[in-house]
DNA sequence: CGGCGTCATTGACTTAAATCAAGACTTCTT
DNA sequence: AAGAAGTCTTGATTTAAGTCAATGACGCCG
């Protein structure tokens, strides 16, 4: 696939006329990163934003003591780092690759100029930011109002509901990263996976999780509590 | 002040030419609510979005057990409820008034039509959503990576830094609401205010809080921990 | 194929904060 | 001004989850 095609296929640019897609192609910078590299850090001055071409990146915050909270994990076709294009000028969080990752970088000036001439692009960007707000609101809800078992149940249901309601899933991130996404630590996650296993709600084998009792899982996700 | 003037003065509509402001005036619905009323609930179908003309509203989530987490409090000039205009169609959280409140409601169709013809409006909306994302990211950071004293310190500093670095502030919400904003409960907040008082960091008298030791407060906000 | 490094699990312990319960203080209302 | 309703504080107790520490499993590279 050539570059223009690849860019035209990005959801954020859906419905954009060809001449404008070509403008994007003219300004894009194509970059590849190894696993575990930093793309940007909280507080860095932003000069543009990114779209994942392939691979996976995490957006996260760190506490001084070293605990990490992942805000979001982005995969192919998803944009990140747009916030400082529209408000403030610095990134509000860190971004690291989780595996070898190819990124499209769009410099600010060219992009802002285009978004003002192309209403469809503005609408797509508004939709993207709105979805992001929904996700963050859900994360706050999980962190503040649910206990870890409830967060895990919510996560499992969310993943499997995307995948056509299947009863099995394979984690595409490490359990340590999952812990960080759920706002906890690996030890706690490990214990809870074990407990939910012994209660017959799920079965866990390495990165494979199978749902044995969807009803209980739903109860957990809603109530936020693991019954004794 | 007449309605058109009032609407033209809303930050979201800054820089919009007069004829377009008049379009907004034509579609706006002016509503007044008593204290404690619900504006919308999570899951409701959205038919438009709101701007606070006067008063104050809270956006919040509820757990089944009745605990509440406030995501945001909006005052005069601020917009809310825009997310379902651009992604999904239902509100992701609840909105209630905190006092008698006058709202401008903008129906979806008319607004979407205008935003596509007025790039300045699109840019302003992108900026508003981006700021919102920043706030929510900060909230996640607080909830997940800081203990309650650290969140409180962050809040106090944030409030006073807006107000020209003054060393005293008067809470404009109840302590119960503040607890909900900080992701805790009134009992815990009360204890922590008392402790910070006895440690000489702040002094508390009803709704008035004075900062006695800004350095310690900053340490707390950064470390997230209250030293024994 | 054997050893090294990352990642995951399990156990004993500590701790921040929630819960339950009672009382005190404010503030509106009539 | 008295009463009622809502709000705040304080105390005793419980609990979820974090910390510290050690061991176990796995995948990778030479």
Q: Tell me, what's the pLDDT at B226? A: 55
CB contact under 8 A, B71 and A140: yes
Q: How far is the CA of A189 from the C1' of C10 (A)?
A: 12
CB contact under 8 A, B123 and A115: yes
The strand ranges marked E within chain A are 29-33, 38-40, 48-54, 57-62, 68-74, 79-80, 94-97, 101-107, 168-170, 202-205, 208-211
Partner residues linked to A57 by β-bridges: A74, A97
Q: Tell me, what's the pLDDT at B57? A: 96
Of residues A61, A84, A130, nearest to B83 (C-beta): A130
| Residue indicated by tokens 């996260």 | A60
Count of all residues that appear for chain A in the document = 228
Q: Tell me, what's the pLDDT at B225? A: 65
* Run of H or E including A122: helix A119-145
Residue B1 has pLDDT above 80, yes or no: no
Using pLDDT thresholds of 50, 70 and 90, give the confidence band for residue B223. Answer: confident
Question: With an 8 Å Cβ cutoff, is B121 touching chain A?
Answer: no
CB neighbours of B215 closer than 8 A, spacing ≥ 6?
none
| Chain A residues closer than 8 Å to B139 by CB | 140
Residue B84 tokens read as 């379902």
Least confident of A63-72, A114-123, B188-197: A63-72
Residue A123 has pLDDT above 90, yes or no: yes
Cα angle A52, A54, A60; round to 5: 50
Find how far residue B80's CA is from the centre of its chain: 9
Collapse the DSSP code of B58 into the 3-class scheme (helix H, G, I; strand E, B; otherwise coil) and give the result: strand
Using pLDDT thresholds of 50, 70 and 90, give the confidence band for residue A166. Answer: confident
Q: Tell me, what's the pLDDT at A51? A: 98
CB contact under 8 A, A88 and B134: yes
Q: Tell me, what's the pLDDT at A225? A: 66
In 3D, which of A148, A140, A135 has the Cα closest to residue A193?
Answer: A148
What percentage of chain A carries pLDDT values higher than 90? 89
Q: For residue range A192-213, what is the model confidence (pLDDT) as tens digits?
A: 999 999 999 999 999 999 999 9
The protein footprint on chain C, as nucleotides within 7 A of a CB, is 7-12, 16-21, 26-27
The protein footprint on chain D, as nucleotides within 7 A of a CB, is 7-12, 16-21, 26-27
Whole-number average pLDDT of chain A: 94
Is strand C within 7 Å of residue A152 (CB)?
no
The number of beta carbons lying within 10 Å of the beta carbon of residue A227 is 9
Residue A210 tokens read as 């199978």
Using pLDDT thresholds of 50, 70 and 90, give the confidence band for residue A176. Answer: very high
Residue A164 has pLDDT above 80, yes or no: no
Residue A190 has pLDDT above 60, yes or no: yes
Q: Tell me, what's the pLDDT at B64? A: 84
Q: For residue range B32-72, what is the model confidence (pLDDT) as tens digits?
A: 999 999 999 999 999 999 999 999 999 999 998 889 999 99
Q: For residue range A133-150, what is the model confidence (pLDDT) as tens digits?
A: 999 999 999 999 999 999
Question: With an 8 Å Cβ cutoff, is A109 touching chain B?
Answer: no
Q: For residue range A38-80, what is the model confidence (pLDDT) as tens digits?
A: 999 999 999 999 999 999 999 999 998 889 999 999 999 999 9
Q: Please, what's the b/e burial string for A70-80 (b: 16 or more CB within 10 A of its CB; e: otherwise)?
A: bbbbbeeebbb
Q: Min CA distance, A58 vs chain B (Å)?
A: 14
Dist CA B65 CA A29 (whole Å):
50
Mean pLDDT of B131-136: 98
Dist CA B156 CA B149 (whole Å):
11
| Chain A residues closer than 8 Å to B140 by CB | 61, 69, 71, 136, 139-140, 143
Q: Is the dihedral of CA B94, B142, A41, A38 positive or negative?
A: negative
Residue A1 has pLDDT above 90, yes or no: no
Residue B147 has pLDDT above 70, yes or no: yes
Dist CA A208 CA A171 (whole Å):
6
Residue A226 has pLDDT above 60, yes or no: no
Q: Min CA distance, B214 vs chain A (Å)?
A: 19
CB contact under 8 A, A122 and B117: no
Residue B14 has pLDDT above 70, yes or no: yes
Question: With an 8 Å Cβ cutoff, is A29 touching chain B?
Answer: no
CB neighbours of B179 closer than 8 A, spacing ≥ 6?
B185, B186, B188, B189
Using pLDDT thresholds of 50, 70 and 90, give the confidence band for residue A161. Answer: confident
Question: With an 8 Å Cβ cutoff, is B183 touching chain A?
Answer: yes
Q: Tell me, what's the pLDDT at A227? A: 56
DSSP B72-106: EEE-TT-EE--HHHHSSSB-SSEEEESSSEEEEEE
Mean pLDDT of B136-155: 97
Tell me the angle at which helices A108-117 and A119-145 cross, rounded to the nearest 10 degrees: 110
Q: For residue range A53-62, what is the model confidence (pLDDT) as tens digits?
A: 999 999 999 9
Q: How far is the CA of B99 from the C1' of C28 (A)?
A: 15
Least confident of A101-110, A164-173, B100-109: A164-173
């Amino acid at each position: 696939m050539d570059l223009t095609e690849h860019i035209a296929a990005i959801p954020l640019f859906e419905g954009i006329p060809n001449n404008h897609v070509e403008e994007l192609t003219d300004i894009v910078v194509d970059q590849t990163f190894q696993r575990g590299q930093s793309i940007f850090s909280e507080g860095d001055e932003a000069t543009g934003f990114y779209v994942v071409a392939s691979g996976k990146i995490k957006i996260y915050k760190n506490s001084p003591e070293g605990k990490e909270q992942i805000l979001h994990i982005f995969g192919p076709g998803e944009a990140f780092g747009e916030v400082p294009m529209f408000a403030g000028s610095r990134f509000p969080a860190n971004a690291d690759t989780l595996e070898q990752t190819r990124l499209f970088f769009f410099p600010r000036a060219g992009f802002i100029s285009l978004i003002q001439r192309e209403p469809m692009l503005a609408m797509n960007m508004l939709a993207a930011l709105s979805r992001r707000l929904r996700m963050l609101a859900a994360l706050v809800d999980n962190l503040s109002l649910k206990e870890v078992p409830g967060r895990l149940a919510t996560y499992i249901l969310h993943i499997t509901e995307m995948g056509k309601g299947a009863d099995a899933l394979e984690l595409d991130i490490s359990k340590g990263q999952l812990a960080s996404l759920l706002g906890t630590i690996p030890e706690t996650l490990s214990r809870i996976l074990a407990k939910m296993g012994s209660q017959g709600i799920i079965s866990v084998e390495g990165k494979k999780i199978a749902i044995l009792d969807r009803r209980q899982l739903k109860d957990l996700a809603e109530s936020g509590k693991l019954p004794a």
